[in-house]
Amino acid sequence: MHEVKFDGYRSQIVTDVGGVRIFTRRGLDWTSKYRDLAKAAAELELESAIIDGEIIVLDETGLSDFGALRKAITRRQHELYFVAFDLLHLNGHDLRDMPLEGRREILSELIAEGQRIQFSEALPDDAKAIFYLVDRAGLEGMVSKRKGSKYRSGNSTAWLKTKAFTIDEFELLGVEREVGKPAFALMVERGTGRYVGSAFITLNREMRERLWKRIQERAGTAPKGLGCLSTVMCPPLR
């Protein structure tokens, strides 16, 4: 079965005698950051449950907008939604060994339509047709899940992500790099030299170091109007 891949923060809602808590995929308790969603989860009136899903915020076209998510968390809690796609525990019962379809059927019955907590519906039709529509709609991609599969934490071939990409080429202006932080490529349009933004560098360590060496050899000052954007275009940071 296939579902829309939402662009947000993977999270789990945990309900028990202590109330409702919301955890990040790394196990951090972010309940205080998701106050409104925690209240919405409490309205489900479950004795105990663990619900797996994605916290998102929507743009004006109704698509999940990762760029706006952080601002919504700190300033616009009312814009947050939790899209639920799996159920691990319910009222003292461990459901992880139940087939995927069974878990999702129970989950769908727990969630009312039109609420802050929504159910991720499976998409009809075959994978190629679904991906074509997902790509045309501007969505991030789709998640394909093996029917009958059990729930297991960590990476699994039972769940496969297929992302939709828009590809373009830009000239490299420089690299923004600080110790202990990800490196970003600063880019401009070919021909016009217009600054278009930055992108996370996903090269392996060896290729990143080769790129960093080449850029240091051609280091200069930041173009007028951009300011001190990069350690390679400004005085070196020590």
Beta bridge partners of 86: 52
CA 15 to chain centre: 23
3-state secondary structure of 79: helix
Task: Specify whether the CB–CB gap between 161 and 177 falls below 8 A.
Answer: no
Q: Which long-range contacts (CB under 8 A, 24 or more apart) does 136-141 make?
A: 137/63, 138/61, 138/63, 139/4, 139/5, 139/63, 139/64, 139/164, 140/5, 140/6, 140/7, 140/64, 140/164, 141/5
Active-site residue set = 5
